[in-house]
């Protein structure tokens, strides 16, 4: 029997199990199926967090498990885009390289400071996750995209990576949950207190 507090982690685990299955489809050239799988990853990522809060099942382990699952799906999704839609990677090589460089930096700093993957759960990171997974799902399933939308999504992702960099370098996201790094600015505190 599964405890209700285990349900969010089971949803997260389903995303983790989907990764090798989707790899088989990606290597077979089935972009539509992989796109649907990436959409499922986005949906399950939103669902596990909601369930954890709703079922009062939030935990540090669950948060870290979610981040690890997201990271594996994220890295796989990038590889699937490279395999199935290489023209997109060539067309947007510079912003992708900037975003990836920031991401690698964030992982190295977070691991060096906290011995864990970054899981600050900033609003900007949630927005980037939302926009990025939906865009990649569309890109893999359909194959075409408006250039303005690609630039918008990459801009959101780079902005979130910059904010995560500030968080992991200057703050302690392992000890406090921030919605945005601006919460640590004196102006934000004054606005929140009404003074």
Helical spans, DSSP H, in the chain = 7-27, 31-54, 60-84, 86-91, 93-114, 123-142, 147-170, 186-193
Structure tokens at 5: 């507090």
Please give the pLDDT value at position 164: 87
Residue 176 is given by DSSP the state S
Q: What is the CA radius of gyration of the chain?
A: 17
Give pLDDT, residue 112. Answer: 87
> Under a CB-based contact definition with an 8 Å cutoff, are residues 106 and 166 in contact?
no
- Determine the 3-state secondary structure of 13 from DSSP: helix
pTM to 2 decimal places: 0.80
What distance in Å separates the CA atoms of residue 97 and residue 102, rounded to the nearest whole number? 9
Tokens of 139: 């890109």
122, 127, 133, 139 alpha-carbon torsion, rounded to 10° = -150
Assess contact for 145 and 139: CB atoms under 8 A: yes
| CA dist list (Å): 50 to 11, 15, 56 | 11, 15, 10
User: What is the pLDDT, as a whole number, of residue 195?
Assistant: 57
pLDDT tens by residue, the chain, 195 residues: 778 888 988 999 999 999 999 999 999 999 999 999 999 999 998 898 888 889 888 887 888 888 889 889 989 999 999 999 999 999 999 999 999 999 999 989 988 888 776 666 788 988 998 899 999 999 999 999 999 999 999 999 999 999 988 888 877 655 556 667 766 666 555 656 665
CA triple 191-63-6, angle to 5 deg = 130
CATH for 4-193 (1.20.120, 3.60.21, 1.10.3470, 3.90.660): 1.20.120
Would residue 49 be called left, alpha or beta, if left means φ above 0 and alpha means ψ between -120 and 50 degrees? Answer: alpha
């Amino acid at each position: 029997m599964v405890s209700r507090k285990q349900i969010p982690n089971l949803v997260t685990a389903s995303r983790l199990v989907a990764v090798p299955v989707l790899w088989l489809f990606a290597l077979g050239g089935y972009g539509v199926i992989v796109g649907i799988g990436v959409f499922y990853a986005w949906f399950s990522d939103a669902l596990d967090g909601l369930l954890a809060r709703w079922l009062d099942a939030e935990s540090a382990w669950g948060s870290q498990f979610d981040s690890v699952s997201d990271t594996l799906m994220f890295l796989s999704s990038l590889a699937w885009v490279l395999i199935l839609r290489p023209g997109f990677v060539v067309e947007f090589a510079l912003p992708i390289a900037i975003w990836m460089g920031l991401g690698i930096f964030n992982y190295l700093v977070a691991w060096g400071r906290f011995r864990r993957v970054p899981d600050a759960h900033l609003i900007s990171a949630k927005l980037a996750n939302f926009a990025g997974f939906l865009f990649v799902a569309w890109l893999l399933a359909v194959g075409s995209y408006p250039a303005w939308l690609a630039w918008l999504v990459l801009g959101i992702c780079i902005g979130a990576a910059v904010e995560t960099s500030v968080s992991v370098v200057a703050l302690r996201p392992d000890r406090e949950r921030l919605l945005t790094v601006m919460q640590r600015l004196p102006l934000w505190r004054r606005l929140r207190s009404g003074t």
